[in-house]
Amino acid sequence: MNPAQLAALCLTHHHSDHLMDVGDILLTRWVCGGAMPFPVIAPEGPTTSYLERLLSLWADDITVRKDHGRRTTEPEIDLIDFLPREEPTVVWERSGVTVTSILVHHEPVEPAVAYRVDSGGASVVISGDTRVCASLKKLAHGCDILVHEAVMTEEVLKAGMPHVAAYHADCRELGAMVSDLDVATLVLTHLEPSPRDALAAQGFADEVRRGGYQGQLIVAHDLVAVDTAPTIS
C-alpha cells in the first residue's frame, strides 16, 4: 500500500529489527503526501526515547527535500505513549478502529507489548516478541487472526543460541496455548531459525499442530495477505 494511506504505526518494543525501518516509513509517507503529524503508538521507555530522537538524525535530508520539493510541511510524529499493563488497555481509537495493548514477556527487553486491533466486528492480535504467556491469552481470546512469533526450540538450541530460545515462543507451547483461545486463524511470523525453504517452513506448522492447535494455520512469508483482516481508514 502507499505509505500515505497508513493511519497509524504501532511499535511493540525497542529491538533494532523492530525499529530499523521506522524512519523510512515516516519519511516515505511524508514524501508521498501523507498527513502530518503521523500517529505512532508505543509503550513508554526505550521505544519512545528512540522516537523522540529519530527525526533529528534526518534533519539535513529533511531540509533538502523540503526546499527542493517546495514542500510546506515537515515529517512529524504524533507520539501516543502509554504505560504498559498486564491487563488489556485501550491505547488508540479512530473511525471505528480500536487498538488495545497488553504487556508481554520478552525479558530482558522491557517493556514489550502486544496489540489487538478491532474494527467492523473483526479482530487481529499481533504478539510482538514474547514467550508464551498468560497476558497474551487475555488479549487474544476469540480473535479472528492471531499473528504470533514462533521458534523451533530444539533447532535453536542445536545452533548454540539458548538466549534466543529463552525469550521467544516455542512452537509446541504456542500450539497448546492457542488451542484454548477460540482463534480462527493463527499466522506464524518472526520465525527462528529462519526457514530456508517450504519444507523447513512447514516444520513450524507441524510443531504447532503437535501442541494442539487445529484451526486455520498460515506460516507467514513476505507480502502474505490474510483476507479476514479488518480495513483501517
Give the model's pLDDT for residue 1. Answer: 85
Residues 49-87 have pLDDT tens digits of 999 999 999 999 999 999 998 988 999 999 999 999 999
Choose among 188, 181, 201, 187: nearest CA to 229: 187
pLDDT tens readout for residues 28-55: 999 999 999 999 999 999 999 999 999 9
Rounded distance between C-alpha atoms, residue 129 and residue 210, angstroms: 22
- Answer for the pair 187, 218: CB distance below 8 angstroms, yes or no: yes
What residues contact 135, with CB distance under 8 A and at least 6 apart? 86, 87, 102, 103, 104, 105, 114
Confidence (pLDDT) at 174: 97
198 CB burial (10 A radius; 0-12, 13-18, 19+)? exposed
pLDDT band, residue 21 (cuts 50/70/90): very high
Active site (catalytic) residues = 17
Is it true that domain 84-228 has CATH number 3.60.15.10? yes
Q: Is it the case that residue 120 has pLDDT exceeding 80?
A: yes
CA-closest candidate to residue 149, choices 176, 122, 124, 167: 167
State the Cα–Cα distance between residues 16 and 186, nearest whole angstrom: 25
The domain segmentation of the chain, as residue ranges, is 1-82, 84-228
Residue with cell string 491505547? 91
Q: What is the DSSP string of 88-129?
A: -EEEEEETTEEEEEEE---TTS-S-EEEEEEETTEEEEE--S
Q: At residue 233, does pLDDT exceed 50?
A: no
Give the model's confidence band at 14: pLDDT under 50 very low, under 70 low, under 90 confident, else very high. very high
Q: Which residues contact 180 (CB under 8 A, 6 or more apart)?
A: 137
* Cell (9 digits) for 77: 510524529
DSSP reduced 3-state for 25: helix
Task: Quickly tell me which residue has 492471531 as its cell.
Answer: 146
Mean pLDDT of 130-138: 96
Assessment of whether the complete model's pTM goes beyond 0.85: yes
Closest C-alpha among 118, 117, 104 to residue 12: 104
Which pLDDT value is given to residue 228? 66
Q: Tell me, what's the pLDDT at 76?
A: 96
List % helix, strand, coil for the chain (3-state, nearest 5): 35, 25, 40
pLDDT in tens, 181-226: 999 999 999 999 999 999 999 999 999 999 999 999 999 998 999 9
Q: What is the pLDDT of residue 231?
A: 47
By three-state DSSP, how is residue 82 classified? strand
Q: Helices 59-68 and 22-31 sit at what angle, rounded to 10 degrees?
A: 10
- Residue 14: is it exposed, middle or buried by C-beta count within 10 angstroms (0-12/13-18/19+)? buried
196 vs 45: CA distance, rounded Å: 35
